[in-house]
Chain A
Amino acid sequence: MNVIVCVKQVIDPEAPPASFKIDAAANKVIPPAGVSPVVDPYGEYAVEAALRIKDTKGGKVTAISLGTNFVRDVIKKPLSMGADDLILLDDPAFVDGDSWSTAYALAMAIKKIGAYDLILCGREASDWNAGQVGSAIAEILGLPSASLVKKIEITDGKAKIERILSDGHEVVEIPLPAVLTISNELGEPRYPTIKGIMAAKKKEPITWKPADIGVDPSKVGAAGRRAKMLKLFQPVREGKCEVIGADTPEEAATKLAVRLREAKVL
């Protein structure tokens, strides 16, 4: 099985909300000082899904990432988890796109890779939360797709998947090759092993520029956007928390219950 996984380097979503700041004039987020970027969490679940398939079916997992200012140790995580190759679409022309123009570049890179049975993406990236790149790649490559996937079973050129619904899940059969977007219900991604980290250290990612994948520069990145972002802002938070204090936690708890009753909240 040849599996391609799309991952993204993002600002750590676990960084405390207080460290989050926006440059309003530039409509950009200021990366918090001293906080290392990470592979986007749902992208990691997608890598895990790919590796589980490799565990049972054998084959190859190729991770691909579009961006700039890659931190090598960060973006190599899929390799240290067990992926075989890492391809970086590293060029200013590729960035600041919307889901459509980003997916177009990824799709062209996937076409260049050539042989694949399955393409996996996280269900949404933790920065823009758009949740559309997987669908767009499927649309551009003319492949069947399914989103919100938590389980994949491969048999005979088909994938049997479990897809999350609001009140449970559905079991769907989808022919390969296909695009699937993965959700956290898949289960915790594996930690890199020492062996994996050592192997990743030796492995150099392949870097592709727009000319390498034959894209029309006007269709990728900022130039290829269909959606325009007019404003990025932090909503003003009002209100203050009434912290109930006491000598012991038990006393504070009792006081809290009384206070809530008094305020007719309970």
Chain B
Amino acid sequence: MAEYKGVMVYGEIAEGKLAAITTEALGCGRKLANELGEPLCAVLVGTGIGNFAQETIAFGADKAFVIDDPLLKDYQTDSYIAVMEKVVKQVMPRILIMGQTSIGRDLAPRLAFRLGTCASLDCIDLKIDPNTKLLLQTKPVYGGNAQAIFTSESYPQTVTIRSKAMAPLARDASRKGDVVNVPAGLDPSAIKTKVLQKVKEAVEGIKLEDAPIIVAGGRGVGGADGFKQLAELAKLLKGAVGATRPPCDNGWVPEGLQIGLTGKIVAPDLYIAVALSGSSQHMSGCSGSKNIVAINKDPESNIFKVARYGVVGDWKKVLPAFTNKVKELLAG
């Protein structure tokens, strides 16, 4: 029986370049491939994506497989699983890594089940067991209150990685590798779903994932008006506004501002947490922050166990005074 060998990374393109999470997956994949003494390859699926093959090699792949077809223009479960099944059976990788994105969350589980294996999603650490050569897959569970290490003896061992959990290699345009085109060979009648429209959410100012400073509010902010004060501070600091789930669910802020396990993962230099308790689900989204500053009237709040600096007090009194002092300090 043929052996499973090598590491395969499913690559995504975002805003005209290789997605950051793909460069992170390649960095992680490179490390695992080196440990195994086996090759690393990338797979790109879509329409007009051939140009990015060389980029995957610049970020560490030895080989890039390109499945380029008009029918693959938009991600759809049926078509993407079909072509991934094809390339996985061709390459037989030991390990398959995807990013924990709206594609990865959908594609990884169902593809793994189709292939007779299983997947671990949202991994924050991946290691090779030196004895068994199995992939040890560490992921947060219980909303981030705990972590679990999973493995499987079915192949490929499939994972998605959390954004910003792994490090990319430095881009090296001189790296050489093969590019292989794989025909999609799709049967259009087998594609059950139809993407009718894509709607981009209007983002004012800097994107949350890129902001060096984030001012985030929780349930305690109390309403949309309260968030205006957070926005004022964020603007002053040239940062962005974020939120926990309740403000988004209540419609106080747009859904896209949700930071957490099922929202955005951020790792800014400074995270100012206003009137939020610091639940594990929320902290999963911002624990990578360099410095967390907490403002909360409850001294027993979990946020004070994870923050670096804090003030215990009513945010309605603390924040305006804080903002004024910051204004003064930045002007001086």
Q: Are A232 and B146 interface neighbours, CB within 8 A?
A: yes
Residue B31 is within 8 A (CB to CB) of chain A in the complex: no
Q: Are B148 and A168 interface neighbours, CB within 8 A?
A: no
Residue A167 is within 8 A (CB to CB) of chain B in the complex: yes
Taking A100-B113, A147-B106 as contacts, is the C-beta distance between A241 and B196 under 8 angstroms? no
Residue A194 is within 8 A (CB to CB) of chain B in the complex: no
Residue B120 is within 8 A (CB to CB) of chain A in the complex: yes
Q: How many A-B pairs with Cβ below 8 Å? A: 254
B163 (CB) vs chain A CBs: closest residue:
A166
Q: Are A254 and B321 interface neighbours, CB within 8 A?
A: yes
Q: Are A174 and B193 interface neighbours, CB within 8 A?
A: yes
**Total A residues in contact with B, Cβ cutoff 8 Å:** 84
Taking A129-B122, A135-B110, A265-B293 as contacts, is the C-beta distance between A172 and B311 under 8 angstroms? no
Residues on the A chain within 8 Å of B229, using CB: none
Residues on the B chain within 8 Å of A22, using CB: 146
Residue A99 is within 8 A (CB to CB) of chain B in the complex: yes
Q: Are B150 and A254 interface neighbours, CB within 8 A?
A: no
Cα A261 to Cα B76 in complex, Å, equals 49
Cα A9 to Cα B74 in complex, Å, equals 36
Q: Are B249 and A188 interface neighbours, CB within 8 A?
A: yes
Which residues of B, 180-200, contact A by the 8 Å Cβ criterion?
192-200
A131 (CB) vs chain B CBs: closest residue:
B121
Residues on the A chain within 8 Å of B121, using CB: 129-132
Q: Are A139 and B322 interface neighbours, CB within 8 A?
A: no
Q: Are B322 and A129 interface neighbours, CB within 8 A?
A: no
B12 to chain A, nearest CB (A): 10
Which residues of B, 313-332, contact A by the 8 Å Cβ criterion?
313-314, 317-322, 324-326, 329-330
Taking A230-B150, A257-B322 as contacts, is the C-beta distance between A184 and B118 under 8 angstroms? no
Residue A37 is within 8 A (CB to CB) of chain B in the complex: no
Q: Are A187 and B146 interface neighbours, CB within 8 A?
A: no
Q: 10 closest Cβ contacts across the A-B interface?
A: A249-B313, A253-B321, A257-B325, A132-B109, A226-B118, A249-B317, A250-B321, A144-B192, A253-B322, A168-B201
